[in-house]
Amino acid sequence: MPKLSRRDRSRLLVVVAALLWSTSGLYAKAPWFDDWPMETRGVALTFWRAVFAALTVLPFVRRPQFRIAMVPMSMAFVAMTYSFLVAMVNGSVTTTIWLQYVGPAWVAFAGLLGIGDRPRRSDWVMVGLSLVGIVFIIGMESRVTHESLVTGPVGLALFSGLMYAVVMVSLRRLRGVDVAWLGLVNHVVSIVCLAPLVIGKAPLPHGGQWIALFCLGAVQLAIPYMIFAWAVREVESNEASLITLLEPVAVPVWTFLAWRNYATYRFPEWWTLVGAACITAGFVWRYGLVRRKSVETVPFNKDAP
C-alpha cells in the first residue's frame, strides 16, 4: 500500500471532521430539550454550544494574534451557526443540512472573483449538480409548505451556506494562525453576540441537558472545527467544501437511528432525497470518477503533494 501524501492525510481529516459535524441533528431534534420554548430553542442551543466549544479549545491556544481576516471570519461564523441551528430546530434536519451545502457553489464563485482558490473545471460539474438539487428542494418546499423563503428554515439554511463559504475562504487566508486561537475567537464572538438573546430570555439548562450541551459544543463543533481548520491548510477551500458533503449524507442517518421511534420524528420528504441525490452525484463525479482518471493517467510520484 503506497504511503499517503500529506495532502491525502489532510483530506481524510476533512472526512473525520464532516462525520463529527454530522451529529448536529441528534441534538437539534433531541427530546432532551422539549421543555425549552421553540421560539428560543435554536438560539439557546447555539449559545450554549459556543460556551462549551470555547472551553474545549481554550487549553490548546498557543499563539494568540490578530489579523484583519478574523473579523469577517468570526462574524460569518456567528451568522452561520445561528441560522443553521435555528433552521434545523424549526424545520427538517435533512432539508436544512443539504441547503446549507450551497456553500461549495459560493466558494467557487468567490474563486472566480479572485477571492480564495480558483475552481478547477471539474468542480463546475459538482457545483452544477449541487445547484440543480438545491433549486429542486427549494421549489418543492415553497410549493408544498408555503413557508417564507427568506425568514423560514429554507431561507436560514441558504444564508447559513453563504456564511459557511465566507468562513471557508477566511480560514484559507489565515493558514499561518494558530488553529485553536481561531476557534476560540469564533466561539467567544458567538457568546458575546448571542448572550443578549439568551440570558434572561431562555430557560437555563438542567440535569442531563448540561451533558448533552457539552457534547454538542465539544464533540460536534470544537474538535471537528480544529481538525478541519488544520486540514484546510493543505487542501484547497473549494475541494474541502466539497469533501464535507459527507456531512449531509450522514445527518439524516444519525437522526433516524436515534429518534425514529419518537412521535416528533419526521422522515425526509421525497423531494429532499431527490435533491440530495443530485448533490451526491456531483460529489461522486468530482472525487470518484475524475480523481480516478487523474490517478490512472498521471505517473505515480512519491514526492508529489
Per-residue pLDDT of the chain (305 residues; tens, 9 = 90+): 567 788 888 889 999 999 999 999 889 888 999 999 999 999 999 999 999 999 999 999 988 999 999 999 999 999 999 999 999 998 888 888 887 777 666 776 666 666 666 667 767 787 788 788 888 887 887 777 655 555 578 888 889 988 988 888 888 788 788 889 999 999 999 999 999 999 999 999 999 999 999 999 999 999 998 888 788 778 876 677 678 778 888 888 888 888 888 877 778 888 888 988 887 787 777 666 555 444 443 332 323 33
**pTM for the full model?**
0.80
pLDDT of residue 45: 97
SS (H, E, C) the chain: CCCCCHHHHHHHHHHHHHHHHCCHHHHHCCHHHCCCCHHHHHHHHHHHHHHHHHHHHHHHCCCCCCCCCHHHHHHHHHHHHHHHHHHHHHCCHHHHHHHHCCHHHHHHHHHHCCCCCCCCHHHHHHHHHHHHHHHHHHHHHHHHCCCCCCCCHHHHHHHHHHHHHHHHHHHHHCCCCCHHHHHHHHHHHHHHHHHHHHCCCCCCCCCCHHHHHHHHHHHHHHHHHHHHHHHCCCCCHHHHHHHCCHHHHHHHHHHHHHHCCCCCCCCCCHHHHHHHHHHHHHHHHHHHHHHHHHHHHCCCCCCCC
pLDDT of residue 233: 78
